[in-house]
Amino acid sequence: MRSLTFLLACLLAGTAAAQTAAPSVTVAATRDPVDKSYRKMLAGMDIFARHHALAPQATLRFQLLPRLPSTQLDGISLRVAGDTVSLPVPVAADHSFTLERNAQAAKEDAALIASRKTSTLTWRAQVRSPNVPEGTRRLGDLRLECLVGVEAGLLSNNAQIFAWLGELFTSPDRVCNSPEGNYLFFAERPVFAITLRDGNRSATLPLRALYAGGTQTPATLPYCDCQVLLDRSYYAPIWDRGWSDDTLLTFDDMDSPPGPADTALADDYRTADQMRARLGPAQTISFDSGYQIWRYTYPPARNGEQPAEFTILFGPDGVARKARLREPMPTSESQP
């Protein structure tokens, strides 16, 4: 942190000096910082090949996702554009695509350009192993998605200075192999709970692993890839090698009925007003859909453990749709 503070101080000092310097210079226009570098996309394809053992039978595609409520992805077109090269990139119905290797485009440091404003898009790697049950994701696939996504420079941020710092200090190993890496994944639908299953072992992800950690505010949300996908965003424990690559993540959607793992609510706990009157104020996460997640915590059974969580999903009408008691998620160190 001290090094980062020093670097920022130097950066700001340099900016001040430049403002007082006598002669002015004209700098050529640079590429939109959210356009994707063709070279970096190829580097992502290379890291996929090097780490293919994480998902030996998987294939790699890239995918476009919306970043703003107004984003329209249907009919979008992509092209690789260099000084002399312009290559169309076919986009599938699910807004995914693959890239062909072109030596001239790489030599010219071409950009991958969309027919929409780049600030309205979020980009991700898409790694899928065959025979994975519908409604689940395989952890090894997600590990490989993270490596490819970071190497390919797919993470977007509108704050250019922080995007520059992120590129300076992050790497696939640092992001994908650390609990602090915080690489966001997106579920197919708004998610209420995610359960890990690895052989006979299972655990439910804590709330801090959902909704970009539950810490986004109206001021910070525009700088998150999850800007309109907050209710679909989650962190997976890709760094925790106590969970094998074959671990499956099962998704409980917001719009699905209560399941066996959910907690039945008494009639006098059904509405937000009733819940608040009986349990007091809760940590609240609100979504554009009108849904809300409420979270209550309870002291851990043993020192060093995370607290247990009681989470409730309320609909736009203020009536509870379902609830779940989440016990502390065990780490690999706590396994026998």
Estimate to the nearest angstrom the gap between the alpha carbon of 118 and the chain centroid: 18
pLDDT tens, 206-235? 999 999 999 898 888 888 889 999 999 999
What's the pLDDT band for 146 if we cut at 50, 70, 90? very high
Q: What pLDDT, on a 0 to 100 scale, did the predictor assign at position 180?
A: 85
What's the pLDDT band for 184 if we cut at 50, 70, 90? very high
The mean pLDDT of the chain is 84
Please say whether the beta carbons of 286 and 271 come within 8 A. no
Crossing angle of the two packed helices 139-151 and 38-50, in degrees rounded to 10: 150
Q: What pLDDT, on a 0 to 100 scale, did the predictor assign at position 33?
A: 42
When pLDDT is averaged across residues 66-73 and rounded to a whole number, the result is 89
Q: Is the pLDDT of residue 32 over 80?
A: no
Q: What pLDDT, on a 0 to 100 scale, did the predictor assign at position 166?
A: 53
Q: What pLDDT, on a 0 to 100 scale, did the predictor assign at position 161?
A: 40
Beta-carbon contacts of 26 under 8 Å, excluding residues fewer than 6 positions away, are: none
- Which candidate, 169, 185, 285, places its Cα nearest to that of 237? 185
Rg over CA atoms, the chain: 22
Q: What pLDDT, on a 0 to 100 scale, did the predictor assign at position 197?
A: 96
* Cα 21 to Cα 7, 15, 29, 191, distances in angstroms: 21, 10, 21, 53
- Which candidate, 124, 135, 238, places its Cα nearest to that of 193? 135
Q: Is the pLDDT of residue 256 over 80?
A: yes
What's the pLDDT band for 170 if we cut at 50, 70, 90? low
- SS3 state at 319: strand
CA atoms lying within 13 Å on the CB side of residue 268: 3
Q: Is the pLDDT of residue 302 over 80?
A: no
How far apart CA 107 and CA 102 sit, in angstroms, is 9
The number of beta carbons lying within 10 Å of the beta carbon of residue 322 is 21
Say what the pTM is: 0.83
Beta-carbon contacts of 107 under 8 Å, excluding residues fewer than 6 positions away, are: 82
pLDDT tens, 236-255? 999 999 999 999 999 999 99
